[in-house]
Structure 1
Amino acid sequence: MPTTSDAPVLDTLAAMTVDSIERCGMDARTLILTRIAALVAMDAPAISYLAHVDPAVKAELTVEQLQDVLVAIAPVVGTARVMSAAGHIAQAFGVAIALADAEAQSIAEAGARSRDSA
Structure 2
Amino acid sequence: MATASSDAPVLDTLAAMTIDSIERCGMDTGTLILTRIAALVAMDAPAISYLAHLDPAMKADLTIEQVQDVLVAIAPVVGTARVMSAADHLAQALGIAAIAVGESEAEAIAEAEAQSRSHS
Shorter-chain TM-score: what band?
0.7 to 0.9
Give the Cα–Cα distance (whole angstroms) in 1 for the partners of residues 63 and 7 of structure 2.
Answer: 35
Q: Name the structure where helix makes up a greater proportion of residues.
A: 1
- Number of paired residues? 95
Which amino acid letter does the alignment assign opposite residue 89 of structure 2?
H
Which runs of 5 or more structure 1 residues have no equivalent in the other structure? Answer: 96-118
Residue 94 of structure 1: how far off its partner (Å): 0.7
After the TM superposition, which residues 1-118 of structure 1 pair with which residues of structure 2 at under 5 Å, given as runs?
1-94=2-95
Q: Encode CA deviations 1:4-36: one digit per residue, 9 max, x unaligned.
A: 000000000000000000000000110000000
Residue 3 of structure 1: how far off its partner (Å): 1.5
Higher relative contact order, chain-length normalized (CA < 8 Å, sep 6+): 1
Using the size of structure 2 for normalisation, the TM-score is 0.78
Which runs of 5 or more structure 2 residues have no equivalent in the other structure? Answer: 97-120
The ranges of structure 1 where at least 4 consecutive aligned residues each deviate by more than 6 angstroms after the TM superposition are none
Give the Cα–Cα distance (whole angstroms) in 2 for the partners of residues 63 and 89 of structure 1.
Answer: 10
Give the Cα–Cα distance (whole angstroms) in 2 for the partners of residues 27 and 35 of structure 1.
Answer: 12
Output the aligned Cα RMSD. 0.9
Using the size of structure 1 for normalisation, the TM-score is 0.79
